[in-house]
Structure 1
Amino acid sequence: MINYTIIIPHKNTPKYLQRCLDSIPERDDIQIIIVDDNSDYIDTINFPGLNKKNTEVYFTKEGKGAGYARNIGLSCAKGKWLLFADADDYFNKGFLDIIDKYLNSDNDVIYFSASSIDNKTGKIANRNKDIVKVINNFNKEKYKTVENLIFKNWTPWSKMFKHNFIKHKNLFFEEVKVGNDALFVLESGINAKKIAVDKFPIYCVTYSITSLTFSITNETFFDERFNAKIRINNYLDDKGKDRYKIPLGDDIVISINYGFKKFFNTIKKAKINNNKIILSTIQSLIKRFLKILNFKN
C-alpha cells in the first residue's frame, strides 16, 4: 500500500533535484513522482530518480510550468496522502517520523513548519518567516489565527493533503507559469472540514536570487506575475477576504521600467480589479529609496 505520494516538478536544476531526492528515505510505502517541465537539457542516462526505488519520472515537452507538471503528478498519484516539493528544496531529517504520526488521522490538510537556507552560501535564510509565524501563532480556538494559517500560507510545500479529499473536491493547479499553486492551497484550506498544525519543520525552502519567486527577467514575466496577483486578489475578494490581498505597490513601481504606457496600464488594471495601490506604492518607493541610500553609504 502506498501511504505517501511526493510530487516534484523540475526544470533545469538536476543537482538540486538530486539533493531533494536524497532527503527522502527509501520506503515501500512512498511513491515519488518527478515531472520535468521541458528542461533545456536532459541527461536521460543520469537524470535524478531514474534508478531510485518507487520513483516515477515523466518528461514533458509542453513547457507549461510547474502547475501543469503537478497536475500530471496528481493524475499518477497512488498515495493516501499527497506532499509537494520544489526541486531546489528538500525535506529535513526526521520528517517521516513526524508525518507518520498523522497517517491514520481524519484531517483533510495538515500544516507543518519549515526551515530555510540560502542555496549559494548554505546560511540561514528567511523565506520561511511567514509560515513560521502563522504556524507558531495558530490557536484553533481563535478564528483569526485559523484564517491567517489559510490565507497567509499559500505554498503547497510543508503541507500534507488527504488524497481522497483532493479528489472529492476536484482540486487541480492552475496551468500558468507564475502563481499556479495559490488557489489550490487556498481552496484546500477553505474546504477542509478538519485540519491539524504541527510546529516541526519538515521541509527546507531555499533562497536563490535566480528563482522565479525573486527575479523579473523581462516584460512577459512581469505580466505573468502581475496577472497572477490580480487573479489571487480577485479570488480573495470573492471570498470576502480582501484584507489578505497582495499589495501591488512593487509591481506599480517596477512597471515603469517598461515605459509610461505600461506604467499607466498597470495602474489601470489594478484599479479596475478593485485594488488599493496608493499606500503600497508609496511604501515601495520609500523602501527603494532607503535601499539606494544604504548602498551609497
Structure 2
Amino acid sequence: MIEISFIIPVYNVELYIEKCLSEFRKIKNQNCEFIIVNDGSQDSTIDICEKYVRSDKRFRLINKVNEGVSVARNIGLKNAKGNWICFCDGDDWITEKFGDYLFSILDNDFDVICFGTKKVYSEKENGDFPFENNSSILEEEDIKFLRMGLLNVDLKKFINYSGKSIKFVSVWGKLFNHRLISQNNVYFEPEVVWAEDLLFVFDAFRYAKKILCVDVAGYNYRIQSQSAMNSFKEGKRYQMLKMVRHLFKKIESNNEQEFLECAYLCGIKQFLYALKLDICNSKNRNQYNIRKKEFIELKHDEYFDICFSNGDLNNFRFEVKMMSELCKYNLFWIIDVLFLIKEKKNQNKMQ
C-alpha cells in the first residue's frame, strides 16, 4: 500500500534535481512513490531523473511538453496512488531523516498536515533539524481564519498560527489527504502561473475539517534571487491580474462573502507585486509616460478597482499601507522612485 505520493514537477533544474532525488532515495520506508513530472526540460534534467527511475522502483517519470507548473502538478495528482499527497519542487529537498519522520505522523483523522520549512541560501546553512514536535490541531473556526490569513498574511493572529517556520500559503510543507483532494475536485488552475499555490491551498482548506500543524522544519526551500518568480518580465502584471480574477470568481461561486475584505487586500498586494516585478522595475526600459499609462490601465481594471475602492488599508503594516495609499491616489511618480530605491537597497544586501 502506498501511503505517500511525493509529486515533483521539474523544469530545467539540472543543477539542483540530484540533491532533491538523492534525499528522497535515502528514505527507508518503501510505502511511497516519487512522481517526477518533467515539464519539457531542455537541459540534462531528464537524464538525471531517468537514472533514479532505473535504480529505484519507487520513482516514476512522466514526460510532457512545457505547460507550466500548475499543469505538471495536476498530472502528478491524476497519477498519484498514495493516501497522502506531498508536493516538492525540483530545486528543493526533504531530508532523509524528515522523510521517514513523515510516516510517523500520518493520521486519517486529519485532512491536512502542515510542517515547517527552512529557507536555504546555500547548502552550508543546512543543518540538523530540531524535532521538538510542537504540534497544534486546528478545526473549523480556526481553519476559516487561516483561509482569511492566506489572503492577508499581515493579520496578527495568522502570524501567530504560522509559528516559526510553517508557511501556509505554499503547497509544499504539507501533506494533503488524497481523499480531500479527489472528493472535492481540488486542482491547480492551469492558466494561473502566479500564486497558484495560494489558490490551491485556499480551495483545499475550504473542505478541511481538521488540520494538524507540526512546527518541525523539514522542507528545505532554496532561495534564488534571480528565480523566475522574483525577476522582471514585461507584461508580468497580467499574471497577477489573472490570479486576482480567479480568486474573486472562487469566492463568488462558493458564496463566501465573509472572505471579501481579505480578498480586497490580497488584490492590492498583487497590484504592488505587479509594480515591483514589471511596471516599476528598473529593468523595464519603457519611458516614464508609458509606464504611468500601464499603471493607470491596470489600476482601473474591474477587479483591482474594486480592491482599492473597498479594501481597508488600515489592516496593512505601515510600509504596505503607505504604498497602497500612494497607489489609491495615483501618485505614480512617488511610487516609481520608492520602488527604485527599495530595489537598489535589496541589490546591495545581496552583494
Report if TM-score (shorter chain) is over 0.5.
Answer: yes
Equivalent in the alignment of 1:203:
219
Equivalent in the alignment of 1:228:
243
Q: Partner letter of residue 81 of structure 1?
A: W
Equivalent in the alignment of 1:193:
209
User: Any idea what the Cα deviations from partners look like across 1:126-152, whole Å, max 9, x if unmatched?
Assistant: xxxxxxxxx989774895686237625
Q: Partner letter of residue 10 of structure 1?
A: V
Structure 1 residue 276, shift from structure 2 partner? 1.8
Distance 1:31 1:294, change over 3 A: closer
Structure 1 residue 32, shift from structure 2 partner? 0.4
User: Any idea what the Cα deviations from partners look like across 1:23-74, whole Å, max 9, x if unmatched?
Assistant: 222532110000011112346544453334110011101x210110011111
- Structural mapping, 1:140-179, within 5 Å: 140=138, 143=141, 147-148=145-146, 151=150, 152=153, 153-176=168-191, 177-179=193-195
Distance 1:265 1:187, change over 3 A: same
Output the CA distance in 2 between the equivalents of 1:138 and 1:26.
27
1:55 pairs, out of 59, 63, 81, with 59
Name stretches of at least 5 consecutive residues in structure 1 with no aligned partner: 125-134
Distance 1:164 1:289, change over 3 A: same
Structure 1 residue 156, shift from structure 2 partner? 0.7
Structure 1 residue 122, shift from structure 2 partner? 4.6
Please tell me whether residue 266 in structure 1 is matched to residue 282 in structure 2. Answer: no
Equivalent in the alignment of 2:15:
15
Equivalent in the alignment of 1:40:
42
User: Any idea what the Cα deviations from partners look like across 1:64-118, whole Å, max 9, x if unmatched?
Assistant: 1011001111111011111000111111342234322332431111111111111
The structure with the largest alpha-carbon Rg is 2
Secondary structure of residue in 1 paired with 2:53: coil
* Structure with the bigger percentage of helix: 2
Output the CA distance in 2 between the equivalents of 1:273 and 1:294.
30
Secondary structure of residue in 2 paired with 1:181: helix
Q: How many residues are matched? A: 283
1:243 pairs, out of 262, 278, 283, with 262
Output the CA distance in 2 between the equivalents of 1:274 and 1:40.
42
Please tell me whether residue 112 in structure 1 is matched to residue 115 in structure 2. Answer: yes
Output the CA distance in 1 between the equivalents of 2:172 and 2:94.
10
Name stretches of at least 5 consecutive residues in structure 2 with no aligned partner: 127-132, 154-167, 310-320, 328-333
- Judge conservation of contact 1:179–1:229 (CA < 8 Å) in 2: no
Secondary structure of residue in 1 paired with 2:221: strand
Structure 1 residue 226, shift from structure 2 partner? 3.8
Distance 1:173 1:295, change over 3 A: closer
- CA RMSD, 1 decimal: 3.3
Distance 1:214 1:164, change over 3 A: same
Secondary structure of residue in 1 paired with 2:15: helix
2:88 pairs, out of 85, 88, 93, with 85
Secondary structure of residue in 2 paired with 1:114: strand
